[in-house]
Amino acid sequence: MKVIITGKSYNPSKQLEENIEKKLGKLGKYFSDEINANVVISKFKGKTKVEITINGNNTIFRAEDASENVYESIDIIVDKLSNQMSKFKGKLQKRHQDNKALKLEFLPEHEDENSSEEPNIVRRKKFHLNPMNEDEAILQMEMLQHTFFVYMDMDTETVNVVYKRKDNNYGVLETSY
């Protein structure tokens, strides 16, 4: 696993970097290919925030935590990621047993943010849409810890959006041409 550690207003020690690499190395058992893990550590309001994003097998796993002890945050995040990966692996196995295809791909391209006084588009993401069903889109949205997810419906071949409602249910915005 290739681990990239970035500090924002925080300078991680060599010991901390080794600890992160060791902990994330244990998650490598879920992947057969070489994967990338991006770790961002930032300091704010007396707490340390750790965000870890793992890109692998055409899907993204992400978790974050903020606390006063960065080592506790890392342990919590590794547990969250492990749970996400186990859940995802179970879904893959179930789909494989049911002979259904599971095609997930989310490849954002990040651009630098520009500052100005007028409201402008300050961030733009591009990603490739692969066909999936609503359940797969909800799973991907939950793993990313987002409140919405854009996907291509495998049955209708239209671009749809699944979103989480305030009542903890889900909604789908369907498009038509």
- Kindly list the domain boundaries of the chain, sorted by start residue: 2-90, 101-177
Q: Percentage of residues in the chain with pLDDT exceeding 70?
A: 83
Is pLDDT at 30 greater than 60 in this prediction? yes
DSSP state of 119: -
CA-atom Rg of the chain in angstroms: 18
The residue with greater pLDDT, 133 or 98, is 133
User: Which CATH number does 101-177 carry?
Assistant: 3.30.505.50
Q: What is the pLDDT of residue 114?
A: 47
Distance CA 32, CA 29 (A): 7
Average pLDDT, the chain: 81
Domains 2-90 and 101-177 are alike in CATH topology: no
* Mean pLDDT score, 67-89: 87
* Mean pLDDT score, 112-119: 57
CATH class for domain 2-90?
Answer: alpha beta
Q: What is the pLDDT of residue 98?
A: 59
Long-range CB contact pairs, 75-84, < 8 A, 24+: 75/23, 77/50, 77/52, 78/23, 78/24, 78/26, 78/27, 78/52, 81/27, 81/52, 81/54, 82/26, 82/27, 84/143
Give the pLDDT band (50/70/90) at residue 117.
low
End-to-end CA distance of the chain: 43
Q: Which of 103, 59, 48, 53 is nearest to 81 (CA)?
A: 53
Distance CA 127, CA 132 (A): 14
* Mean pLDDT score, 113-131: 74
CB 144 within 8 A of CB 62: yes
